[in-house]
Amino acid sequence: MVWEKQLELRRSFLALRRGVTLLLGEKVSNLDELTPNVHKSQVVQMGSKTVNADLVLVCTGLRPNVSLFDKVRSTCVHIALRG
| Single-letter amino acid, residue 50 | T
HSE-CB at 50 with a 13 A cutoff on CA atoms is 3
Confidence (pLDDT) at 33:
93
Confidence (pLDDT) at 50:
92
Is position 58 within any domain? yes
Is position 8 within any domain? yes
Is position 6 within any domain? yes
Contact 52, 83 (CB under 8 A): yes
Confidence (pLDDT) at 34:
92
Confidence (pLDDT) at 4:
72
Confidence (pLDDT) at 80:
59
Contact 76, 15 (CB under 8 A): no
Contact 70, 10 (CB under 8 A): no
Which residues, given as ranges, of the chain have pLDDT below 70? Answer: 1-3, 5-7, 13-16, 61-64, 71-83
- CA 26 centroid distance within chain: 11
Is position 80 within any domain? no
Structural domain that includes position 31: 2-75
Is position 35 within any domain? yes
Number of domains in the chain: 1
